[in-house]
Amino acid sequence: MISVKEALTKVLSTANNLGTEIVSIHDAIGRTLAEDIFADRAMPPFDRVTMDGICIDYTFYAQGHRKFLTESVAAAGSPTVTLHDQSKCIEIMTGAPLALGADTVIRYEDLKAIEGGFEIVEPIYQGKNIHRKGSDHKENAILLNKDKKIKAIDINVLASVGKTKISVYKKPKVAVISSGDELVEIENIPASYQIRKSNVYMLQSRLKELGIYSNVFHFVDNSNSIYEELNSILQDFDVILMSGGVSKGKFDFIPEVLDRLGFEKLFHRVAQRPGKPFWFGQKDEKVVFAFPGNPVSTLACFHKYFMPWLYQVRVQSYNPLKVVLGTEVRFQPDLDYFAQASIEQAEDGRWIATVKHGNGSGDMVSPTQMDGFIELPRGQEVYKVGQIFEFMKF
């Protein structure tokens, strides 16, 4: 049995990006840039007036003049105007290019209206209220770096440089597959010995939240039919997330079938609870995460392994929180323990985790009352209040 750390390293070793594709700026939110974004011209592209008011030639002001008659009016969106008479001013608006012959803008708040013009009644300095051409960035400067995840604030930059089409990393096509003869569809009434399948819909919804669309399939516990169906599903998907059929039961056929399909097993069974029977393997560019079927096990494996994998293929950001253990935990088995916990932020800003043990990995209601898993690494029997651990939010 492999350690959690080794298992994660193996999972991440398979994570090469899936290539790139071009998306519209309107669909770019949340995607990861596969190209650098350059300034198509200087930023700002002209000496931009930043206040509504007047512009003047400062040298005239420096000679002691305070009253300026208005020569003309310049709005944002009109071409650059010229101040012809240096003793006068131009009324000019925010967003307009500074008038030629002027070098200082005085906002209306610092002016008093006089007959035919304005009197400057507050102190000013040369060059005031002008956002100089190229003062943010020169033409051709890199504004956004490749590999950056696109947030709404980045859309500003993409739009301002006229990028309508953007190269981003491809998302994986994911098949989510349940297996087990005891499972029936949600809308069915289960017999006394059956249950409704729930796991796969949890996984699919979680993927949807991450902006990844998936198809759901189901396998009965029959080795040959699993072989046939999986073989055909593999043609159309990059990643298979399976739940169930990887434990030591007589009808847990998944590992054997994956072997027959030519998959390389990177590991089977990890020193963790829940989720110990997790099987992981790859064939060419395809990867299979075969999680054990119990809902809490599936959830733990998804967060611990699939989320970092997604991060590595540049699809999703992933930063587990650091939290402070707020309740002492005793756990004897030589396994990493993913304990369900709720977290609360203390006044000093630290997150404090309260562990509440559910009723085992089949208890799917318990996680609904928690915030996530706190990862308590093996090698300790008592985890003390105040110790800091990683936390994976559901």
Binding site for ligand AMP (CB under 6 A): 178, 180, 182-183, 195, 197-200, 243-245, 247, 249, 252, 292-295, 362
Minimal distance, residue 182 CB to ligand AMP, in Å:
5
Please choose which of ligand AMP, Mg ion, none residue 372 contacts, taking the beta carbon within 5 to 8 angstroms, the exact cut-off set by kind: none
Residue nearest to ligand AMP (CB): 293
Whichever of 180 and 320 has its CB closer to Mg ion, that residue is: 180
Minimal distance, residue 299 CB to ligand AMP, in Å:
11
Residue numbers of the site for Mg ion (CB under 5 A)?
A: 180, 244-245
Whichever of 244 and 281 has its CB closer to Mg ion, that residue is: 244
Minimal distance, residue 245 CB to Mg ion, in Å:
5
Whichever of 255 and 295 has its CB closer to ligand AMP, that residue is: 295
Please choose which of ligand AMP, Mg ion, none residue 340 contacts, taking the beta carbon within 5 to 8 angstroms, the exact cut-off set by kind: none
Whichever of 89 and 177 has its CB closer to Mg ion, that residue is: 177
Minimal distance, residue 21 CB to Mg ion, in Å:
36
Minimal distance, residue 254 CB to ligand AMP, in Å:
8
Task: Tell me, letter by letter, the H, E, C secondary structure of the chain.
Answer: CECHHHHHHHHHHCCCCCCEEEEEHHHCCCCEECCCEECCCCECCCCEECCCEEEECHHHHHCCCCEEEEEEEECCCCCCCECCCCCCEEEECCCCECCECCCEEEEHHHEEEECCEEEECCCCCCCCCEECCCCCECCCCEEECCCCECCHHHHHHHHHCCCCEEEEECCCCEEEEEECCCEECCCCCCCCCCEECCHHHHHHHHHHHCCCCEEEEEECCCHHHHHHHHHHHHHHCCEEEEECCCCCCCCCCHHHHHHHCCCEEEEECECEECCCCCEEEEECCEEEEEECCCHHHHHHHHHHHHHHHHHHCCCCCCCCEEEEECCCEECCCCCEEEEEEEEEECCCCCEEEEECCCCCCCCCCHHHHCCEEEEECCCCCEECCCCEEEEEEC
Please choose which of Mg ion, ligand AMP, none residue 292 contacts, taking the beta carbon within 5 to 8 angstroms, the exact cut-off set by kind: ligand AMP
Whichever of 244 and 320 has its CB closer to Mg ion, that residue is: 244
